[in-house]
Structure 1
Amino acid sequence: MSFIAGVLALTGCSLALLWVYASRKRLLQTGLASRAVRFQAARFLVAPLVFGLSIGVAALNARAAMLTWLLLVPINVTLHSRLAESVESEAPESG
């Protein structure tokens, strides 16, 4: 189980690095607010942090380690809603 968590943590890290690279090289959609970029980067970094935490917990209890993966749900829901709010608040008014 620690192997799977490690692979998922590394995958999340590579996705976060790719996002940071794309944002710094201005490869993202024009007009995307920097706040939205930061929220998305945070969302990408959550998985590696949670899976890294689960590797440490696995040394004590394997079931508890797998339960830590459930932390991804409320954290990602919260970050996604804030991302949506950020994008909506930055959108130009039409009408």
Structure 2
Amino acid sequence: MKNSHDEKMTEVIIGEAVSELLSVGLDISWVALLDKLRTALNGETDEDRIRAVLRAIDEVRREMQVNSGGHKTSYGRSSDPFAPRGKLH
């Protein structure tokens, strides 16, 4: 069972990343969100937040995999979890 504090922290991290993307006028996509989370990870020093960022990255990767459906994209790429380029909203 996941710790509710960990889940909340992960949601906060994802929310911060989305807010940052919106504040600079970027489209929200799985790839943009993953890139922003990786950038956040590189600059983070707090252990709890590092774990939360890692969980957030894992969640986004899983969601990308689910949304790709394990099929090739229309661009002919494999179903690599990093391949989906569609907007979230």
TM-score of the superposition, structure 2-length normalised?
0.36
Structure whose CA Rg is larger: 1
Instruction: Point out the structure with the larger helix share.
Output: 1
TM-score of the superposition, structure 1-length normalised?
0.34
